[in-house]
């Protein structure tokens, strides 16, 4: 049931939900981001394959640039690992009291994995291999 009082985006940001709210927001943003990327990539590949289209080729050039990949790999890594946390807490609801620790653990895993990915992407991107 939606409430009839409309809360604007900036007003909503003032809600001090902390780490759980950040995780929820990022999960949505990364989810929609991944869907846009995958959807456009599928369509661009279809156009390239069927019509040899320039539009398709150029879109895929953007996707293959290392800067874009640095962004999309954060989206994928975060969405997958946060999703695993959500899945675990849905299967074992008695672990809900460890939400705080679960979020800490999640960031401790995400940041090194993402850091490693960025290292590989930037080093091959800047050396041009």
Partner 1 sequence: MKARMVQPGLTFEYSMWIFTRFSGAALILLGLFGMTSALAMGARTQMDLPAVLRWTFFPNPNHVVNTNIPDVTLGWANAFWQIMQILIVFFGISHGVNGLRMVAEDFTGRTFSRPLLRGTLFMVWIFLLMVSVYVILAS
Give the Cα separation of 121 and 76 in Å (integer).
15
Nearest partner of 105 among 25, 23, 24, 29, judged by Cα: 23
Of 19 and 45, nearer to partner 1 (C-beta) is 45
Give the Cα separation of 16 and 18 in Å (integer).
5
Per-residue binding string, partner 1, 104-123, x by CB under 8 A, is: -------------x--xx--
Per rule CB under 8 A, is residue 20 in the interface with partner 1?
Answer: no
Give the Cα separation of 31 and 56 in Å (integer).
23
Per-residue binding string, partner 1, 28-67, x by CB under 8 A, is: x--xx-xx--xx--xx-xx--x--------------x-x-
Directed axis angle between helix 54-64 and helix 18-51, to 10°?
A: 140
Of the candidate spans 12-20, 80-88, 103-111, the one that interacts with partner 1 by CB under 8 A turns out to be: 80-88
Number of chain residues interacting with partner 1 (CB under 8 A)? 30
């Amino acid at each position: 049931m939606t409430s009839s009082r409309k809360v604007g985006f900036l007003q909503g940001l003032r809600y001090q939900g902390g780490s759980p709210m950040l995780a929820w927001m990022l999960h949505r943003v990364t989810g929609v981001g991944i869907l846009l990327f995958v959807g456009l990539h599928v369509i661009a590949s279809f156009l390239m394959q069927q019509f040899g289209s320039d539009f398709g080729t150029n879109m895929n050039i953007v996707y293959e640039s290392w800067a874009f990949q640095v962004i999309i790999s954060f989206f994928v890594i975060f969405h997958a690992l946060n999703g695993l946390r959500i899945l675990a807490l849905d299967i074992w609801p008695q672990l809900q009291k460890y939400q705080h620790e679960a979020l800490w653990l999640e960031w401790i895993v995400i940041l090194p994995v993402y850091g490693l990915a960025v290292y590989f992407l930037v080093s091959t991107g800047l050396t041009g291999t």
